[in-house]
Amino acid sequence: MSGDTLWLDCVRRLEAQLPETDVNAFLRPLHAVLSAEQLTLLAPNRVVVERVRRDFLGPIRKAISELLPYDLTINVTVGAPSAVPTRTVIAEKVEEPPASTSFATGRLDPRYTLDAFIEGKSNSQARAAAEYVAGAPGGQYNPLLIYGESGLGKTHLMHGVGHSILARNPRARVVYIGAEQWLNQFTSAIRLGRAEEFKNHYRTADALLIDDIHFIAGKERTQEEFFHTFNALIETRKQIVLTCDRYPKELDGLDERLKTRFAWGLSVPVEQPDLETRAAILISKADQQDLKLKEDVALLIARRVRSNVRELEGALNRLAATARLTGQPVTVEFAMESLRDMFAVYDRAVTLDNIKKEVAGYFNIRLNDLSSVRRTRSLARPRQIAMALAKELTQHSFTEIGDAFGKDHTTVLHAHRKVAELRESDPRVREDYSNLLRKLTT
């Protein structure tokens, strides 16, 4: 019997006794490696290991003893099934995950190459700078700092530089890390007395790519260390690429010395892409997923989704998922249909104001009447319906809804209950309510 087969049986037994959420979160995802005397359960991280050891080892032992006619030692540890060859695990009796000898850094996303980057007016300067740096790392644009809002492609450009440097020199040590990870590693290195190791690790990189450098703002000690790393690399003509969510001069809490150092290199912005660029980005991202996206469809989405590149990606992913599932060709009609609810969100989110307007229009009363203190039936009922709709369609609390209607939260609560009741007993209210619901949601 393989460990995983045994484990599936074991989980099936445990399912009958333990809360389903616990089984799902802590037991089902474990992988099991079975040897003659030992069952090793591999968990993704320490949190799961500790929880399993604390709460579930007893039930697991009992279930296993019912499944097997002999005793097994049960061992829970961090690990991934493929990474740990069966034999060695058992031979070494790995209890704890091996202490990392180097500092874990991020991986370059293979899709984020410079070639795959879609250029438009909004990002041409940044793109050109990245190309230049990739061709001449450690040259005059050092550091290269790319700034702009989240979701516009900063990280893509940064990874692109990394890929290009590696393409030219496969032996180059390109180190990519998020600023906050860098920060965490630094603090724990100090704590563990491994500061030297930490310094060496980063100061010997051929190219250092740090994402979201704004995180070190306000963290003096880290900035100090970063300042030294920075100097060491610049002096030895190693390339540094940074991203930041705003122009560094505007970053509060950033050491003046660092601001000056950043100004030595080049700071380039990426901005909101225009319509054509958005469409081109969509087509390119679709290509990467082997989805043929025609220009008219791309323009349709680009026109509706304006905020940032990631939202475009979201729309595209949704489209790709449904297209793959239904096997239908991606036409404008298909896109309209499958993205209808997403578009609806952009076209008209259901807000308290929408609800008030729609309800006032429906009952032919003035908008102000909805918030008035008058208690006549003809006004009170629409007001209650509007408040009930607000509760159903928005995420606002009773208090927030009350504020919008000039009432306190108990009034809203009462309206909510009253309308629920009336929808049962009064066919007219039921109809009004469902008409309004339909108007507001389609």
Partner 1 sequence: MHIRHVRNELLGALQTVVGVVERRQTLPILSNVFLEARDAELVVRATDLEIEMEVSTPVQNLKPGKVTAPARKLYDILRGLSEGAEVSFEIAEEGRMLVRSGKSRFTLATLGAEEFPSLAGIQADTQVTLTHKALRSLIERVSFAMAQQDVRYYLNGMLLHIGPQWVRAVATDGHRLAMSELALETGVKEDLQIILPRKAVLELARLLDGGDAEVTLSIGGGQIQVQLLNLRITSKLIDGRFPDYERVIPDSQDRRVLGQREKVRAALSRAAILSNEKFRGVRLQLEPDLLRIQTQNPEREEAEEEVEVELDGEPMEIGFNVTYLLDALDAMKTENFVLELRGPDASGLLFEAGESTHSKYVVMPMRL
Partner 2 sequence: MKGQQLPLAVALRETSSFASFHAGPNTQAVSTLRGLLNPGGGLALLLHGPAGSGKTHLLQALGREAASLRISHAYVHLPSHLAELPEALAGLEARKLVCLDGLDEAPLPEAGVLALARLIDAIKSRGGNLVLAARKPGHQLQFARPDLATRISACASFGLRPLSDEDRARLLMLRAHARGLHLPDDVAHYLLKRLARDIGSLLEAVETLDRASLSAQRRLTIPFVQSVLLRA
Binding of residue 180 to partner 2 (CB under 8 A): yes
3-state secondary structure labels for all residues of 101-119: CCCCCCCCCCCCCCCCCCC
Please say which residue, 152 or 360, places its beta carbon nearer to partner 2.
Answer: 152
Residue 88 binds: one of partner 2, partner 1, none (C-beta under 5 to 8 A by kind)? none
- Is 153 known as a binding-site position? yes
Q: Which is nearer to partner 1, 9 or 245 (CB)?
A: 9
Using CB under 8 A as the binding rule, the residues of this chain from 227 to 256 that contact partner 2 are 245
Q: How far is the CB of 235 from partner 2 (least distance, A)?
A: 30
Task: Give me the helix-helix angle, 309-326 and 295-304, nearest 10°.
Answer: 130
Total of chain residues touching partner 2, rule CB under 8 A:
63
Residue 155 labelled as part of a binding site: yes
Using CA atoms, how far residue 279 sits from 38, 297, 308, in Å, is 56, 9, 12
- Provide the token pair at 240: 């540094």
Residue in 88, 101, 364, 395 binding partner 2, rule: CB under 8 A: 395
Q: Which does 276 bind (CB under 5 to 8 A by kind): partner 2, partner 1, none?
A: none
Binding status of residue 17 toward partner 1 by CB under 8 A? yes
| The three-state (H, E, C) secondary structure of 267-329, written as one string | EEECCCCCHHHHHHHHHHHHHHCCCCCCHHHHHHHHHHCCCCHHHHHHHHHHHHHHHHHHCCC
* Cα distance between residue 325 and residue 323, in whole Å: 5
CB distance 386 to 353 below 8 Å: no
> Interface with partner 1 includes 104 (CB under 8 A)?
no
The C-alpha atoms of residue 225 and residue 213 are separated, in whole angstroms, by: 13
151 annotated binding-site participant:
yes
- From 176-184, 188-196, 271-279, 295-303, span contacting partner 2 (CB under 8 A): 176-184
Ligand-binding site membership of 243 (annotated): no
Give DSSP secondary structure letters for 126-193: HHHHHHHHHHSTTSSS-SEEEE--TTSSHHHHHHHHHHHHHHH-TT--EEEEEHHHHHHHHHHHHHTT
> Site residues (CB under 8 A) for partner 2?
4, 8, 11, 15-16, 20-21, 24-25, 28-29, 31, 44-48, 78, 80-81, 83, 106-111, 149-151, 155, 178, 180-181, 184, 212, 215, 245, 289, 307-311, 313-314, 317-322, 324-325, 338, 341-342, 345-346, 349, 395, 420, 424
Could you list the residues that contact partner 1 (CB under 8 A)?
9, 16-17
**Which residues are annotated as part of the binding site for ATP?**
151, 153-155
Question: Residue positions in the annotated binding site?
Answer: 151, 153-155
